[in-house]
Amino acid sequence: MNLSSAQLAAALDSTNLRLDAGAADITALCAEAATHRFACVMIYPTSVPLAARALAGTGIKIGTVIGVPSGRFSTAAKAAEIDAMAAAGAHEVDIVMNYAALRDGDIGLVDAELRTLSQRAHNHGQLVKVIVETCYLDADQRITALRLCEDAGAEFIKTSTGFGSAGAKVDHIAEWAAARRGPIQLKASGGIKTLADARALLDAGATRLGTSNAAAILAEFNGTAPAAAPSAGY
């Protein structure tokens, strides 16, 4: 895939979900995103008000996570968090599917929850990405997850939280790209550390990449820094 620097930046969700991240880290993440024009910053819910202040007037979107890391929260709790994040200034919500229920075959529960939560977020004008944690799903379950996300009206299906046993896999993105029935987009996340990682996933069909190495990947693309050293986390 041939991309310009600006197009690559616009495909990156610059993420800080480190457990030890403080206010200074989130402020720096926002400043970096505004400079490079990343698609959004992806942060924990309690950091959204800070990001809303830091990014005011920049046009950079704020994304947050709902139900991380397990997805095993009540639908009501997830819906309340979506409401609170809309009020705080979040434009995008990355909602963890109850993938344990999917693995157990309780498709009706997962379907009902995704429809409810997608509608709730859309009522606030939020973009919805559903995290399905592909490392714990077999091929049939990954396709079922895709169908459920499509039927719920989510804008994206997303591979990983970054806290599972593995992150984004090129073959999983390619599998979804071949199987999708409509306009749903694909987000890869987890373990994306280098430009080579990013290129492979974009070539396979991803249109968004969640990474804590966004600035390093962009610098590598622009030839202004060496390849990023592996870093912990998302």
**String of DSSP letters for 127-159:** EEEEE--GGG--HHHHHHHHHHHHHHT-SEEE-
Catalytically active residues are 94, 158, 187
Would you identify the CATH topology of the domain 5-222? Answer: TIM Barrel (3.20.20)
Nearest CA to 168 out of 141, 142, 140 is that of: 142
- Residue 123 CA to residue 107 CA, distance in Å, equals 24
pLDDT (tens, 9 = 90+) of the chain, 234 residues, equals 789 999 999 999 999 999 999 999 999 999 999 999 999 999 999 999 999 999 999 999 999 999 999 999 999 999 999 999 999 999 999 999 999 999 999 999 999 999 999 999 999 999 999 999 999 999 999 999 999 999 999 999 999 999 999 999 999 999 999 999 999 999 999 999 999 999 999 999 999 999 999 999 999 999 997 544 444 446
Residue 60 one-letter amino acid: I
What distance in Å separates the CA atoms of residue 197 and residue 83, rounded to the nearest whole number?
Answer: 34
DSSP 3-state assignment of 90?
A: coil
Cα separation values, 96 from 30, 39, 74, 160, Å: 23, 20, 12, 9
The answer to whether residues 120 and 148 touch, using CB atoms and an 8 Å cutoff, is no
The pTM is what?
Answer: 0.95
Q: What is the structure's pLDDT at 234?
A: 61
Number of H helices, E strands in the chain: 10, 8
